[in-house]
Structure 1
Amino acid sequence: MPGKMAVTHADLEPSRRSTDLGSKIGVLLMILTILCGLFCFILCLVSEATRSEVTWVGTNEKGKGAKYECVYSGSGKTPLLCAAAAFVGLAVAMVIEHTYILIAVTNSPPPALVSWDPDSAPANYLTWQAGFFFVTTWICFAVGEILLLIGLSVESGHLKNWNRPRPNCLILREGLFSAAGVFSLTTVFLAAGLYLTALRAQIISQELANVQREVLEASALYATPPSSPPHGITTIARENPITRENHDQQPLFVFPQAFSKHSNLV
């Protein structure tokens, strides 16, 4: 016969849905978001290292004297491609992560959170924390994307004829791509903080719901006293009665010895 497997408490618990914040998909998306931020940071560093620079050269024209013109150090294709990849990657990561959080929070049961006292310390703390992470995440995201857009517009302006001397050359300041990378990295970590805050709120909500359910069950159990069992005498038929003989029991009537002697004479 096949062996019997014991049923544990984990087997009785309902399985997590894919839209739950604590599910494997949520954790995987958060890890992918952080990795995407790191990748965008590396791309921004590459863009900073390969950004176009300007060299001024002097030219002598007859009757006009010396004239200085600028020449780019490169076409700017490498920083342009790296900045474009960082721009798109950060935007995709932010949209996916915040969309998942929104769907998870919308589909999560909110009975305990609704019953929270709005003036309580945990509710105020979680509200301010979630608001802080949400606002700062989008601010850092917007600043990082704007910096990347500036870099894209400047680097795309001299893709052709970049080695031809020009009277005016537009270049980026040193550190612009690095700043965009820092804001990108900060964005994904703040998004992770927002995810953890929402997950903590959901866990507290489930704990409060469990406590409320236990209180309701206990109140329903002790609301009415248990009924006493009915008093009565019931007869049970004995199917096989057992008789016992007591050999040590004395006879009920004992005749004196004299009477027994006289009775023998008769």
Structure 2
Amino acid sequence: MAVTHADLSPTPKTSNLGSKTGAFLMVLSILLGLFCFILCLIAEAARSEVKWRDSQCTYTGSGRLPLLSATAAFAALAAAMVVQHVFLLVAVSRSNSLVEITWDPDSEFAKTLTWQAGFFFIATWTTFAVGEIQLLIGLSVESGHLKNWEAPRASCLAIRQGLFTAAGVLGLAAVFFASGLYITALRAERYIQIQENMRRDILEVSVMYASPPRSPNAIQADRGEGPTLPRQDEHNVHTLDYYLRTFDKQSRFV
């Protein structure tokens, strides 16, 4: 009976990392990040300023527009991060190749992927946290003078110029860093799948070569004559050598 790939190894779990759903969710999260950035620019342009007159200050606006814009930007950025990371968590948990991953300590490609994944993960959550904190500061300040904003006051609290813009830039950076983490996970999965496919092919050829049918070679060996491999076994040897040579080449260019 012929040995097939299915006989040599169990079928791994399917992963949704490279699916159309994954690509759609990544594009959606990027669009949410762009929407957050635009809302932050609107909040920056409409932010309340302070005017002083006779040791008293008044606001130039009620702060409703920047408050609403900053609130929507806060929610959009949070939604983008939830979409990206929940999808990554579910997709990785459904992939045997990533869950049971064992890196070769001598593989430069594996080390590079590890450093990239760590960088993107830390950069994503750092920029996200700082951006959300800045938006919360802006929300708290703009919500403090919704009523009687024209009345003179002894002190007025205002947001510094560029706070909302910086929050928008950080939010956009967080979304792109998360996309980089997604691409790194895709590269890792593809790298492992190539390794597994090559191992299965090598094992299949090895099994075929390890148990050759009895042929005139055996008779020649019994007679003390030099054995010659049949054409099929010669083909198996060449195929095995081909896989061993190309395995390293394909893993380098993933």
TM normalised by structure 1 equals 0.74
Correspondence for 2:48 among 35, 49, 52? 52
2:36 pairs with 1:40: yes
Measured after TM superposition, the shift of residue 114 of structure 1 is 3.1
- Tell me how many residue pairs correspond in the alignment: 206
**One-letter amino acid of the counterpart of residue 35, structure 1:** L
SS at 1:110's partner residue? helix
* Structure that is richer in helix per residue: 2
What is the CA deviation profile of residues 107-158 of structure 1, one whole-angstrom value per residue up to 9, with x for unaligned ones?
A: 1122896353133211111011000000000000000000000000000000
**One-letter amino acid of the counterpart of residue 208, structure 1:** Q
What is the CA deviation profile of residues 60-114 of structure 1, one whole-angstrom value per residue up to 9, with x for unaligned ones?
A: xxxxxxxx21010000000000000000110111012111101111111228963
2:83 pairs with 1:96: yes
SS at 1:202's partner residue? helix
SS at 1:160's partner residue? coil
SS at 1:173's partner residue? coil
SS at 1:71's partner residue? strand
2:186 pairs with 1:181: no
2:21 pairs with 1:21: no
Correspondence list, 1:215-234, <5 A: 215-228=202-215
In 2 relative to 1, CA 111–90 (structure 1 residues): closer, same or farther, beyond 3 Å? closer
Are the equivalent residues in 1 in contact too, given 2:32–2:79 (CA < 8 A)? no
Structure exhibiting the larger radius of gyration computed from Cα positions: 1
Measured after TM superposition, the shift of residue 226 of structure 1 is 2.0
Q: Which runs of 5+ in 1 are unaligned?
A: 1-13, 59-67, 230-266
Correspondence list, 1:160-179, <5 A: 160-179=147-166
Corresponding position of 1:211:
198
**One-letter amino acid of the counterpart of residue 41, structure 1:** F
Q: Which runs of 5+ in 2 are unaligned?
A: 1-10, 217-254
Distance 1:141 1:117 in 2: 32
Distance 1:133 1:140 in 2: 10
TM normalised by structure 2 equals 0.77
In 2 relative to 1, CA 177–124 (structure 1 residues): closer, same or farther, beyond 3 Å? same
Distance 1:190 1:27 in 2: 15
Corresponding position of 1:145:
132
Distance 2:205 2:112 in 1: 31
Correspondence list, 1:83-122, <5 A: 83-110=70-97, 114-122=101-109
SS at 1:114's partner residue? coil
RMSD between aligned alpha carbons?
Answer: 2.0
SS at 1:70's partner residue? strand
Distance 2:85 2:103 in 1: 25
Measured after TM superposition, the shift of residue 44 of structure 1 is 0.3
